[in-house]
């Protein structure tokens, strides 16, 4: 009886010890899980659970002060806020960062970099010039590229970093699907652009999965007769071609070609948006608002308060 009781006691002790160890292990797991759960909840403002495998899309947006600037940047920021892993590089055509853009970016909820560089006087469009006379945003896009190369060099991975670079002007309209299409860019991906070049759309024409020519209303013989909104470039390609940039002296309509022709051939272009059959971005332009009544009231000292930001 003595021995039996001792055996039972020892067995019971060992079993309960195992149970205790198991319970402690479970406890460890649970608290780790509950920690993870909390992390996901605080990430809700980003709308998506973190997917570390997603390439970051670096969007370079040149912008300049004008009456509709805040409105345009406001709705563009709202679009980008839906896109996970997007880094907005905003480059002002200005000798300094303006309070309007600084404040807007600060409140945007986006990951961003704020840069500025003024366009050289002789390259700037003058009041009354037709908008096609000189390309706008050249120095600003190049400044965006310069920053990106410098910043990425400082990151681990050197030239071999996942990422996509897209040039998004502040007046166009972008569907959310566009960003998912461009995210898998290997070298240069392409797609149609709506309402551009006096056409319903311009697009690369795809046969057998390859771009064979371009549907455009003007000089289809240009190396890359595409709008700025119609392509994205992989970060790797941008980093491994440190000299590639936009040539402000390129003839009209050749700005996109001046950047792309050293990077890729037509055959290498990667068609997106269902073989370039879907329009996912539109070259919308916002009217310049008339200020006739404002000027009349200002002449009477009754104009709008300049302290109110519009």
Binding region for UDP-alpha-D-glucuronate: 62-64, 93, 136, 141, 169-171, 283-285
Q: From the annotation, which residues make up the binding site for Mn(2+)?
A: 171
Taking CB under 8 A as the binding criterion, the range among 7-15, 51-59, 230-238, 258-266 that sits at the site for a copy of itself is: 7-15
Count the residues of the shown chain that bind a copy of itself, applying the rule CB under 8 A: 73
**Contact region with a copy of itself (CB under 8 A), list: 113-121, 151-159, 189-197, 247-255:** 189-197
Distance CA 32, CA 260 (A): 48
| Among residues 37, 128, 156, 301, the one that binds a copy of itself under rule CB under 8 A | 37
- Shortest distance, CB of residue 126 to a copy of itself, whole angstroms? 20
Residue 71 engages a copy of itself in binding (rule: CB under 8 A): yes
Contacts of 232 (CB under 8 A, 6+ apart): 57, 164, 165, 166, 182, 185, 188, 189
Cβ neighbours around 21 below 10 Å, total: 10
What one-character DSSP code corresponds to residue 151?
Answer: H
| Segment contacting a copy of itself by CB under 8 A, of 76-84, 88-96, 122-130, 257-265 | 76-84
Smallest Cα–Cα separation from 253: which of 229, 228, 283, 233? 228
Tell me the catalytic residues. 256
Under the criterion CB under 8 A, does residue 82 sit at the interface with a copy of itself?
yes
Torsion, Cα 152 157 158 164, to 10 degrees, reads -50
**Residue 180 interacts with a copy of itself (CB under 8 A): yes or no:** no
Among 133, 176, 212, 252, binds a copy of itself (CB under 8 A): 176
Is 120 near a copy of itself (CB under 8 A)? no
Kindly give, in sequence order, each residue whose CB lies less than 8 Å from that of residue 101, ignoring residues fewer than 6 positions away. 63, 69, 73, 90, 92, 114
Within 87-241, residue ranges assigned H as helices are 99-107, 138-153, 176-182, 235-240
Considering the rule CB under 8 A, would residue 9 count as an interface residue with a copy of itself? yes
Q: Using the rule CB under 8 A, is 308 a contact of a copy of itself?
A: yes
Cβ atoms of 181 and 280 closer than 8 Å: yes
Does 195 bind a copy of itself (CB under 8 A)? Our answer is yes
In the bound state with a copy of itself, the residue whose beta carbon lies nearer, of 243 and 305, is 305
Distance, CA of 116 to CA of 221 (rounded, Å): 34
Q: Is 4 in the site for a copy of itself (CB under 8 A)?
A: no
Q: Is residue 293 near a copy of itself by the rule CB under 8 A?
A: yes
Of 4, 51, 96, 292, which lies in the binding site for a copy of itself, with binding defined by CB under 8 A?
Answer: 292
Contact assessment for residue 78 and residue 106, using Cβ atoms and an 8 Å cutoff: no
The count of other CB atoms within 10 Å of the CB of residue 220 is 12
Alpha-carbon separation of residue 61 from 16, 70, 144 (angstroms): 65, 14, 8
Contact call for residue 100 and a copy of itself (CB under 8 A):
no
Cβ distance to a copy of itself smaller for residue 45 or 99: 45
Among 123, 153, 213, 285, binds a copy of itself (CB under 8 A): 285
Binding residues, by number, are 62-64, 93, 136, 141, 169-171, 283-285
């Amino acid at each position: 009886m003595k021995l039996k009781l001792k055996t039972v006691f020892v067995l019971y002790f060992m079993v309960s010890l195992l149970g205790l160890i198991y319970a402690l292990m479970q406890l460890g797991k649970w608290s780790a899980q509950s920690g993870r759960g909390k992390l996901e909840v605080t990430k809700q403002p980003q709308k998506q659970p973190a997917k570390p495998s997603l390439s970051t899309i670096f969007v370079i947006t040149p912008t300049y002060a004008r009456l509709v600037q805040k409105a345009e940047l406001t709705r563009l920021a709202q679009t980008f806020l839906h896109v996970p892993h997007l880094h907005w590089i905003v480059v002002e055509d200005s000798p300094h960062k303006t309070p309007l853009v600084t404040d807007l970016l600060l409140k945007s909820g986006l990951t961003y970099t704020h840069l500025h560089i003024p366009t050289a006087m002789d390259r700037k469009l003058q009041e009354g010039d037709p908008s096609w006379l000189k390309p706008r945003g050249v120095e600003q896009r190049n400044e965006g590229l310069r920053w990106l190369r410098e910043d990425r060099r400082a990151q681990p991975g050197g030239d071999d970093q996942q990422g996509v670079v897209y040039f998004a002007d502040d007046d166009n309209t972008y569907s959310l699907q566009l960003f998912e299409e461009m995210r898998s860019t290997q070298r240069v991906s392409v797609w149609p652009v709506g309402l551009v070049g006096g056409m319903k759309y311009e697009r690369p024409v795809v046969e057998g999965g390859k771009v064979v020519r371009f549907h455009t209303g003007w000089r289809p013989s240009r190396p890359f007769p595409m709008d700025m909104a119609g392509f994205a470039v992989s970060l790797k390609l941008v980093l491994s071609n440190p000299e590639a940039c936009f040539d402000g002296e390129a003839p009209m309509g050749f700005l996109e070609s001046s950047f792309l022709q050293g990077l890729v051939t037509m055959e290498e272009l990667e068609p997106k948006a269902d073989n370039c059959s879907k329009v996912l971005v539109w070259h919308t332009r916002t009217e310049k608002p008339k200020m006739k009544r404002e000027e009349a009231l200002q002449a009477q000292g009754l104009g709008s308060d300049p302290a109110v930001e519009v």
